[in-house]
Structure 1
Amino acid sequence: MKQHQLKIYNTLSRKKEIFEPINPPFVGMYVCGPTVYGDAHLGHARPAVTFDTVYRYLSYLGYKVRYVRNITDVGHLTGDADEGEDKIAKKAKLEKLEPMEVAQQYTDTYHRDMDLLNTTKPSIEPRATGHIPEQIALVQAILDEGLAYEVNGSVYFDVLKYNEREQYGKLSGRILDELISGSRDLDGQGEKRNAVDFALWKNAAPEHLMKWESPWGIGFPGWHLECTAMSSKYLGKHFDIHGGGMDLMFPHHECEIAQGNACNHQDPAKYWMHNNMITINGQKMGKSLGNFITLQELFNGDHKLLDQAYSPMTIRYFMLTAHYRSTLDFSNDALKAAQKGYKKIINGLRIAKKLQFIADENIELDGEQIKQVEQSITNAYRAMDDDFNTAQAIGHLFNLLKKINSMYTGQLHPALLGEEVFGNIIQTFIVFVEKILGLQEEKSDNQQALLDVLLHLYSEAKTARNYDKVDEIRNALKSMGFVVKDMKDKIDWAYEE
């Protein structure tokens, strides 16, 4: 394993901590996945890209990562609380489908969009409906600990009694007395002993579509319970990393911690990681504001707020240009800038793969150039080791890209760097772009074949001094998003930036 001192910002401790896995080289990582009742949107993309990058970098460092990301297909009620309709069942009624048809349809489209963003498939992708027995067993274990109570076929977690043993609110920083005080103005609390209590199992009304038999009657699991059941089954009672969006910190992750401590007597995860939220033109994304944008709308440009379509790799690159704990504002100007940056990086990737070391015994090594390259390489890894700071790492990659472009155009002779440093700059750039950041070219094999033909015709026309034909081919390539590079010793193409 490479010698890196990786630091992760742990939401639980509110500070950066040196990453020390529980059982190295193995790492267990659980990330809250989507509730599948609609098309994937920007809010789904950010945690997917964030934790894909975490997975990629941990794997690059030599860790053997078991990456578990769930699918929520039951129990997530409207309002994200203990009352209301199941989000998937509500969609099923509207579309006159079975709930599992809805769940399957939007699981499939989620996978399609994640593939377009080049996110790695998780090691295990469990569904909540596939783990009902495990969830029932967890409810019983919490009841046996005296930290839950049953009312009319529903089971609730007793937050006040739990707080006598463990601090409820330690992840989010919420104060229980303030939560209780803030809930007193609500019109009653129904079956609960206290409004801050949350459902582990809910009794199902006769018209409820998704329900199962349990020791407490026919019902369905609480939303928070599902992740505790699935994470503990596949990663154990105490694992390394739990990830998700900042919006899940309270109450979802707070309740997971309470459930884990209640039945397993320990926190579920050692490190809690949360990506920050996104905004659209400075506003929170919401359907009522008319700025709710799905990934397919972004990829197709089919939304009133979009000037154009933005490719999946442009979106991925844009997300990586901000630290995952920073808010990220989507605007046409920012996305167009990201589109240019992505194309610069990919043009550099193509060049890096073609460059070859050319020895020249008459050229002395340039110590200053070597120092600049080695510093940029060190800084790129240092940025990733500092809580996965992709934004800074990309900045250092652009420093390497300047050297790569200079070697390509002949301004910098590779022999000035020496064979070892030349190899390091090429390998580092390729590894970062493809393996760590997960960026890739988006042209098809058919486009490459067409490019080869057009460049051949361009070369012939230029040799024959048929400049009308030269201009015609150049314009045709530009309309496809490519530019011709006329150089002293070769003709090449690049993505138009």
Structure 2
Amino acid sequence: MPLYKTQELKIYNSLSGEKEVFTPIHEGNVGMYVCGPTVYSNVHLGNVRTFMSFDMIYRYLRHLGYKVRYVRNITDVGHIVDDVDDGEDKIAKKARVEKVEPMEIVQRYTVDFHEILRAFNFLPPSIEPTATGHIIEQIQIVQKILDSGYAYESNGSVYFDVVKFNEKYHYGQLSGRNIDDMLSNSRDLDGQSDKKNAPDFALWKKADPHHIMRWPSPWSDGFPGWHLECTAMSTKYLGEHFDIHGGGMDLKFPHHECEIAQNEAATGKPPVNYWMHANMLTLNGKKMSKSTGNNILPGEILSGDNTILSKAFTASVTRFFMMQAHYRSILDFSDDAIVAAEKGYNRLMEALTLLGELQAGKNVSTLDIASWKKACYDAMDDDFNSPILIAQLFEGVRFVNLINDGRESLNASDLEEFIKLMNAFVFDILGLDTEKGDSGTLGKLENVVNMLIQMRNQARANKDFAMSDQIRDQLLDLGIQLKDGKEGTTFSIS
């Protein structure tokens, strides 16, 4: 019997603002859509946190025995990635600056996205559709919304009529915004806008002569609006009504609000039962920003090539750090925090190694594994509460040490279940990986490099510059770059 029949999973639904018992539309099957990246730059660490949260959610649903169709898109279309309908799209802008084709930008950063997620031990989604691969479906939805009377054409562009839609439906139901407030607080139309009302959003935009990414449509050569692609791809692969739609908190408005409106206008019914939103990641207590330098890329954590952290950290340590916070909580990333996480991670891995060496005791178990197991599942069933689960895993670490010291014992069947559960929660659900997270090996490498740095310093002091240069150059050949500064010599791994 699948586990989901014995567990009552509750999910916080952003639409209702409450935790609700999860009941899929089709028993035993879950359809989940998560908004993927816009591939115009290296994937942002905050985005990695969001995708990691839904990777953990995907893993737990599968662990419970659900058959999950997980769809996560790639935004590779040339449109404005913002809550406005004017300006230059980010993919085309990057292509113009670098003097390459837009699809070269798309390819480069799609590869980067996949490489980073692979390094952090993500499971691939069931389907990973691209926006450019679904232009026909997007045009069809625009036509449906026009036919329903909730959109209008203006000078080759098509806009969603928010005011008319709100006469029958509720625009603002997800974000809690009021249509009257939106109308009164919106900027005054300058008389040159193609919109009837400022809150109206583009379903299809006519491309100006310089816009590179464009497609023919019944209205103009142009490109789809930002919100349309997710409506097209989610409903194509999950149906007009599906279980879970997820993304970052920043997408709640306008992106997800507009998705709901588009679906209801096209089909007459709400598209999603459970809306889920992961919270943001800050860095040293502040918002991450490239312009201020308060920024770090995921790959820079692994290489140590940054000015934020004291050393390199493995992908599993980083993942463990992120799992220590609930997905709906703001998480602050700092050197002190990840150093502390590394210590906790090492304790957990050492206990798991020891766990495999434990011997079963007599027929009577002195530890209550059943209660511990229930506490682990209760944590995950309470809106995927990974920090509470981790606290229970460290209770498991305590069990391991007690058994190893001979102070407690488990009979053969209880020990077998304990080992199976510890491994399931650590590796299958939290997604940690001993190989990628081998901090001990990383520490040994760090010690060896520091020893070579000392040898190089001694060679320089002896004016043996040939030896000094040889050590530096041979390390560089191995992908280890030395950096000489006022505080001494540091290194980074590429």
| TM tier, smaller | 0.7 to 0.9
Aligned residue identity for 1:304: T
Q: Distance in 1 between matches of 2:403 and 2:106?
A: 52
Q: How does 1:407-418 map to 2 (within 5 A)?
A: 407-408=403-404, 410-412=405-407, 414=409, 417-418=410-411
Q: Distance in 1 between matches of 2:128 and 2:83?
A: 22
- Indicate whether 1:94 and 2:97 are aligned: yes
| Partner of residue 247 from structure 1, selected from 246, 250, 253 | 250
Q: How does 1:274-313 map to 2 (within 5 A)?
A: 274-313=277-316
The corresponding residue for 1:405 is 401
Any conservation in 2 of the 1:403–1:412 contact (CA below 8 Å)? no
- Indicate whether 1:432 and 2:417 are aligned: no
Q: How does 1:175-214 map to 2 (within 5 A)?
A: 175-185=178-188, 190-214=193-217
> What stretches of structure 1 of length at least 5 have no aligned partner?
452-497
Aligned residue identity for 2:342: Q
Q: Deviations over 1:131-190 (max 9, x none)?
A: 000000000000000100011110000000000110000001011111111104565671
- Indicate whether 1:370 and 2:367 are aligned: yes
Q: Distance in 1 between matches of 2:149 and 2:130?
A: 28
Q: Distance in 1 between matches of 2:191 and 2:177?
A: 22
Q: Distance in 1 between matches of 2:110 and 2:192?
A: 34
Partner of 1:100, secondary structure, is helix
Any conservation in 1 of the 2:314–2:437 contact (CA below 8 Å)? no
Residues 76, 117 of structure 1: alpha-carbon distance in 2 compared, 3 angstrom cutoff: farther
The corresponding residue for 2:352 is 349
Residues 106, 195 of structure 1: alpha-carbon distance in 2 compared, 3 angstrom cutoff: same
Q: Deviations over 1:57-103 (max 9, x none)?
A: 00000100000000000144254421111111111111111111100
Q: Deviations over 1:369-389 (max 9, x none)?
A: 423x33222111100000000
The corresponding residue for 2:148 is 145
TM (normalized to structure 1)? 0.85
Any conservation in 2 of the 1:376–1:397 contact (CA below 8 Å)? no
Partner of 1:229, secondary structure, is helix
Matched pairs, number: 438
Any conservation in 2 of the 1:35–1:76 contact (CA below 8 Å)? no
Partner of 1:20, secondary structure, is coil
How far apart are 1:192 and its partner, in Å? Answer: 0.5
Q: Distance in 2 between matches of 1:360 and 1:144?
A: 74
- Indicate whether 1:30 and 2:33 are aligned: yes
Q: Distance in 2 between matches of 1:64 and 1:88?
A: 35
Q: Distance in 2 between matches of 1:187 and 1:295?
A: 43
The corresponding residue for 1:470 is none
Any conservation in 2 of the 1:406–1:412 contact (CA below 8 Å)? yes
- Indicate whether 1:421 and 2:448 are aligned: no
- Indicate whether 1:136 and 2:139 are aligned: yes
Aligned residue identity for 1:303: N
- Greater CA drift, 374-383 or 164-173: 374-383
Any conservation in 2 of the 1:203–1:220 contact (CA below 8 Å)? yes
How far apart are 1:407 and its partner, in Å? Answer: 2.4
The corresponding residue for 1:81 is 84
Q: Deviations over 1:287-324 (max 9, x none)?
A: 22211211111212222222222211111111110010
The corresponding residue for 2:330 is 327
The corresponding residue for 2:56 is 53
The corresponding residue for 2:68 is 65
Any conservation in 2 of the 1:39–1:294 contact (CA below 8 Å)? yes
Aligned residue identity for 1:436: I
Any conservation in 2 of the 1:349–1:433 contact (CA below 8 Å)? no
Any conservation in 2 of the 1:36–1:73 contact (CA below 8 Å)? yes
Q: Distance in 2 between matches of 1:379 and 1:311?
A: 29
How far apart are 1:8 and its partner, in Å? Answer: 0.2
Q: Distance in 2 between matches of 1:323 and 1:345?
A: 19
Partner of 1:401, secondary structure, is helix
How far apart are 1:444 and its partner, in Å? Answer: 9.5
Aligned residue identity for 1:176: I
Aligned residue identity for 1:345: L
- Indicate whether 1:13 and 2:16 are aligned: yes
Residues 101, 240 of structure 1: alpha-carbon distance in 2 compared, 3 angstrom cutoff: same
Q: Distance in 2 between matches of 1:391 and 1:309?
A: 24
Q: Deviations over 1:408-433 (max 9, x none)?
A: 3x33353xx32222222211111101
Partner of 1:223, secondary structure, is coil
Q: Distance in 2 between matches of 1:55 and 1:78?
A: 27
Aligned residue identity for 2:25: I
Any conservation in 2 of the 1:172–1:254 contact (CA below 8 Å)? yes
The corresponding residue for 1:459 is none
Partner of 2:129, secondary structure, is coil
Q: How does 1:222-241 map to 2 (within 5 A)?
A: 222-241=225-244
Q: Deviations over 1:86-128 (max 9, x none)?
A: 1111111111111111001100010000011111100000000
Q: Distance in 1 between matches of 2:10 and 2:113?
A: 31
Aligned residue identity for 1:305: I
Q: Distance in 2 between matches of 1:151 and 1:266?
A: 27
RMSD: 1.8
Any conservation in 1 of the 2:78–2:92 contact (CA below 8 Å)? no
Q: How does 1:120-135 map to 2 (within 5 A)?
A: 120-135=123-138
- Indicate whether 1:109 and 2:112 are aligned: yes
How far apart are 1:280 and its partner, in Å? Answer: 0.7
TM (normalized to structure 2)? 0.86
Any conservation in 2 of the 1:370–1:421 contact (CA below 8 Å)? no
- Greater CA drift, 20-29 or 424-433: 424-433
Q: Distance in 1 between matches of 2:264 and 2:22?
A: 22
